[in-house]
Amino acid sequence: VTTPLLDRKLVFVTGKGGVGKTTVAAALALLASQQGRRTLVGEVDAKGNLADFYEVPPTSFQAREVAPNLFAMSMHTEESLKEYLRLQLKVPFVARMGPLARTFDFVAQAAPGVKEVLIIGKFLWEVRERHYDLVVVDGAATGHAVALLAAPQGIRDLVKVGLVREQTGWMLDILGDPAQTGAVIVASPEEMPVNETIELAGRITAETNVNLACVIVNRVLPELFGRGEEEVFDRICQPANAERLAAAAGGPTTAVLDGAHLAVTLRRTRAGHLARLRGGLVEGTELLYVPELFTRHHGVRATQLVADALSQELGY
């Protein structure tokens, strides 16, 4: 029996750039908070635009309540390191450790996995300390996401002794428990995002111990015509009929009919990619669908629309 997505403690959202990864992360967190869960949403990319999705001032390392039950933050590795040294390793004099932090930043660049462990470790720590019911991570794009999720194991393999190694144990316990942690890949029904999603799903399973909770397909176009209706549409488009329609409607019909053609072909192309996605994922992988939003809205109202769609898909 799999744990429902929002009943987990850590939901790590990833996906190719441009598919709506942050939108989905923001909406999942909003939905959870509206269901009464004390929720933290954190973006890995400090230069990200998570705040725009709630229409609040830019996020920082210190989590801030942006809506009832909903707290938002953005990652900052140096801040994370300082907090880690202060709270977990009990290294004193943090205030005077500017140069040390810089040095560590360098080690983090040089030694693979150190920077990643500081990032994922911060979120895992929030889970362990039970500060929130749910932590949603707006994770990095595809390649870096695997590096983040695999970091604790990678560090464990590279570092044989020391405090950092000791810390990886509890991290792996949380990451590897499907009742607590789930990865979510956001995709859009287009060629490259589908390719990357299939590849990423395989890599998450092969290279990390994290459970792939589901794939969320964003921007799914609605089916325009039902059974037999496309034939009717084709007949309407015949020049003589189109002219009759134009006369009855009192205006030009070319653009409107061309627009419907475009909608049908776009939908058909995307349906092909969707089918490829379904075929390329391990059987049993759950797929959720978020429709294309034809809306003027940006910001929190658009986020709410996606949250509503997800709520339905999750069966609430």
Question: Where in 59-78 is the site for another protein (CB under 8 A)?
Answer: none
As a whole number of angstroms, the distance between CA 311 and CA 254 comes to 38
Structure tokens at 289: 């669908």
Report the site for another protein in 91-120 (rule: CB under 8 A): 91, 100, 102-104, 106-107, 109-114, 116
Closest to another protein by CB, 91 vs 314, is 91
275 binds another protein (CB under 8 A): no
Least distance to another protein from the beta carbon of 237, Å? 10
Sheet of 10-15, strand order: 64-67, 70-74, 39-43, 134-138, 10-15, 181-187, 212-220, 287-291
Q: Are 149 and 14 in contact (CB under 8 A)?
A: no
7 binds another protein (CB under 8 A): no
190 binds another protein (CB under 8 A): yes
Least distance to another protein from the beta carbon of 105, Å? 9
Alpha-carbon radius of gyration of the chain: 23
Closest to another protein by CB, 65 vs 243, is 243
Q: Is 10 helix (H, G, I), strand (E, B) or coil?
A: strand
Structure-derived torsion over alpha carbons of residues 141, 145, 147, 152, reported in degrees to the nearest 10: 150
Closest to another protein by CB, 65 vs 229, is 229
Report the site for another protein in 15-34 (rule: CB under 8 A): 16-19
Report the site for another protein in 200-259 (rule: CB under 8 A): 224-226, 228-229, 231-233, 235-236, 241, 244-259
Closest to another protein by CB, 68 vs 226, is 226
Structure tokens at 18: 């441009």
Q: Are 74 and 60 in contact (CB under 8 A)?
A: yes
Segment lying near another protein (by CB under 8 A), choices 25-33, 69-77, 121-129, 293-301: 293-301
Binds another protein by CB under 8 A, chosen from 56, 67, 94, 141: 141
Least distance to another protein from the beta carbon of 54, Å? 15
Q: Is 182 helix (H, G, I), strand (E, B) or coil?
A: strand
Least distance to another protein from the beta carbon of 217, Å? 14
Q: Are 73 and 60 in contact (CB under 8 A)?
A: yes
Binds another protein by CB under 8 A, chosen from 4, 58, 98, 143: 143
Structure tokens at 260: 């419907």
As a whole number of angstroms, the distance between CA 185 and CA 193 comes to 10
| Residue 295 burial (10 A CB sphere; 0-12, 13-18, 19+) | exposed
295 binds another protein (CB under 8 A): yes
Closest to another protein by CB, 226 vs 315, is 226
Q: Are 106 and 157 in contact (CB under 8 A)?
A: no
The Cα angle at residue 245 between residues 243 and 250, in degrees rounded to 5: 95
Closest to another protein by CB, 38 vs 276, is 276
The Cα angle at residue 22 between residues 18 and 26, in degrees rounded to 5: 155
Closest to another protein by CB, 36 vs 58, is 58
Segment lying near another protein (by CB under 8 A), choices 63-71, 151-159, 172-180, 281-289: 151-159
Closest to another protein by CB, 62 vs 265, is 265
Binds another protein by CB under 8 A, chosen from 147, 149, 210, 310: 147
Strand 181-187 to 212-220 pairing:
parallel
